[in-house]
């Protein structure tokens, strides 16, 4: 039987993660409860961080938003400050599961879960977000693009707690789209997803985050040359995506099906942002 610890301070939480063996941080519990019910989670100590002050905050500066790990996915979808500063993030969080899950699940638990099908990491990668990881050794900052290491493996070490996600404000004139295709039900896990962000500059940079299409979330980017037509941009995006698409067969689809759907998600995302760019 696991022991539940409910620290009142961040120092206490980090101390428990450092001192105890076989710990697991308890965020919203939506993933943990399923694993417990399936009888496949054997952890000795849950560290419930719900009483630790300051972990539910959203703060906004002219440059970025900083989101506490216990902010719910529903807040990311609905909070006016998030919607206006990082609309691509808000629209991506809005596509996770259903309102019941989004009301309970936390942004920290979402990325720490490390599932290759997660939706939010695709947007966090293209938005150049970073993740704060704290332990008794101090706090380090890891790019979302480097956070997802491999199948079910993230950068979070056993004694670390995610204490924030820093998301730079969506650049002026940027166009973003999140596309998700599911095969079982509309609000089910995806079998292919793509977040696409076009960032204007000397060259417009096209950034793509791929979800559910490889053992972990994948990030790709290239510059759009001034003489490229929209079809050229789509072709270039599909070329680069084909180097990263490497799906896992599961009950939601086989490799060939997910590969096809992944290419459709990329094309639809790219066409949506190109259309928006032409209207800016």
Ligand X SMILES: Cc1cc2nc3c(=O)[nH]c(=O)nc-3n(C[C@H](O)[C@H](O)[C@H](O)COP(=O)(O)OP(=O)(O)OC[C@H]3O[C@@H](n4cnc5c(N)ncnc54)[C@H](O)[C@@H]3O)c2cc1C
Interacting residues with ligand X (CB under 6 A): 24-32, 34, 69, 96-97, 101, 105-106, 108-110, 112-113, 118-120, 156, 161-162, 189
Nearest approach, Cβ of residue 258 and ligand X (Å): 15
CB of 268 to ligand X, least distance (A): 18
What's the closest the beta carbon of residue 176 comes to ligand X, in angstroms? Answer: 17
Q: Which one, 46 or 196, has the nearer CB to ligand X?
A: 46
Q: Residue 217 or residue 259: which is nearer to ligand X going by CB?
A: 217
Q: How far is the CB of 49 from ligand X (least distance, A)?
A: 6
Residue of closest CB approach to ligand X: 109
Nearer to ligand X, 110 or 204 (CB): 110
The tokens 């990491």 sit on which residue?
121
Q: How far apart are the C-alpha atoms of 153 and 47, rounded to whole Å?
A: 20
Q: Is the CB of residue 238 less than 8 Å from the CB of residue 267?
A: yes
Q: How far is the CB of 237 from ligand X (least distance, A)?
A: 22
Could you give the C-alpha distances from 173 to 110, 199, 200, in angstroms and in order? 29, 7, 7
Residue closer to ligand X by CB (options 89, 161) is 161
H helical segments located in the chain: 10-19, 30-37, 73-78, 80-85, 87-93, 99-104, 107-113, 120-126, 144-147, 230-242, 255-279
Enumerate long-range contacts of 138-144, CB under 8 Å, 24 or more apart: 139/163, 141/166, 144/111
Give the residue with the Cβ less far from ligand X, 52 or 233: 52
Torsions phi, psi of 202, nearest 5? Answer: -55, -45
Question: Which one, of 230, 224, 260, lies nearest residue 242 by Cα?
Answer: 260
């Amino acid at each position: 039987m696991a022991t539940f610890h409910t620290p009142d301070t961040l120092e206490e939480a980090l101390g428990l993660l450092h001192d105890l063996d076989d710990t697991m941080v308890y965020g919203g519990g939506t993933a943990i409860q399923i694993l417990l019910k399936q009888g496949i989670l054997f952890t000795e100590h849950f560290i419930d961080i719900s009483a630790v002050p300051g972990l539910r905050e959203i703060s906004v500066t002219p440059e970025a938003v900083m989101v506490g790990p216990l902010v719910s996915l529903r807040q990311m979808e609905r909070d006016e400050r998030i919607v206006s500063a990082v609309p691509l993030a808000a629209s991506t969080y809005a596509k996770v599961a259903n309102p019941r899950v989004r009301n309970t699940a936390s942004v920290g638990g979402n990325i720490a879960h490390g599932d290759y099908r997660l939706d939010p990491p695709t947007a966090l990668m293209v938005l150049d977000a970073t993740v704060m990881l704290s332990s008794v050794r101090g706090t380090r900052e890891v790019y979302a693009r480097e956070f997802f290491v491999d199948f079910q493996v993230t950068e979070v070490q056993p004694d670390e707690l995610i204490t924030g996600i820093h998301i730079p404000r969506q650049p002026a004139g940027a166009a973003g789209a999140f596309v998700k295709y599911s095969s079982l039900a509309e609000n089910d896990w995806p079998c292919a997803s793509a977040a696409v962000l076009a960032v204007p500059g000397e060259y417009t940079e096209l950034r793509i985050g791929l979800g559910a299409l490889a053992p972990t979330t994948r990030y790709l980017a290239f510059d759009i040359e001034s003489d490229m037509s929209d079809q050229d941009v789509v072709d270039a995006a599909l070329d680069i995506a084909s180097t990263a698409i490497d799906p896992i067969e599961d009950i939601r689809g086989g490799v060939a099906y997910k590969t096809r759907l992944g290419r459709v998600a990329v094309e639809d995302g790219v066409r949506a942002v190109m259309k928006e760019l032409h209207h800016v």
